[in-house]
Amino acid sequence: MSASNLLIAATFTGFFGDALLQLLVAAGAGGPTGWGLDAYFKHQGRAEAMFTAAGMLAIFFSIYILAGFPRTWVYLALFGVVLDLIFRWGNIFPSLEGYYNALNYFWSAVWGIIPMVLPLLIVYMLGGGA
């Protein structure tokens, strides 16, 4: 599997995944605060949040690939959990405080895993996983 295919899939996952999440929150998913993300989207701006998510996933996957970690579901999932913990404990994005207050460790880890394994799934589905 080529690193470039994985990076492209990660970037698109970040961009369109954030757009889909914004639509879900606007439709009322996640309760009145949209899992604490409504304030984040208002603070960042809707378009900026999409580009930020795309850039962050590209950076995360670049680090992952350059570190030489195996490109497997389990390792990517663990990387997602570690990143989630770093962002939660380090308060990297103070504007995400509502998100971390709305979700417990388990659900925040699940939402940290999804964007990490989705690009791998996309690459495999498009036939680039062999």
Q: Would you call 90 exposed, middle or buried from its count of C-beta atoms within 10 A (0-12, 13-18, 19+)? A: exposed
Structure token pair of residue 65: 């690939």
pLDDT of amino acid 127: 85
pLDDT of amino acid 129: 64
Alpha-carbon gap, residue 7 to 29, rounded angstroms: 29
User: What mean pLDDT comes out for the span 89-101?
Assistant: 90
Higher-pLDDT residue of 130, 103 = 103
- 34-47 tens-digit pLDDT: 998 988 898 888 99
- 54-63 tens-digit pLDDT: 999 999 999 9
pTM recorded for the entire structure? 0.89
Residue 46 CB neighbours (<10 A): 12
For all residues of the chain together, what is the average pLDDT? 93
| Burial 99-117, CB ≥16 within 10 A → b, else e | bbebbeeeebbebbbebbb
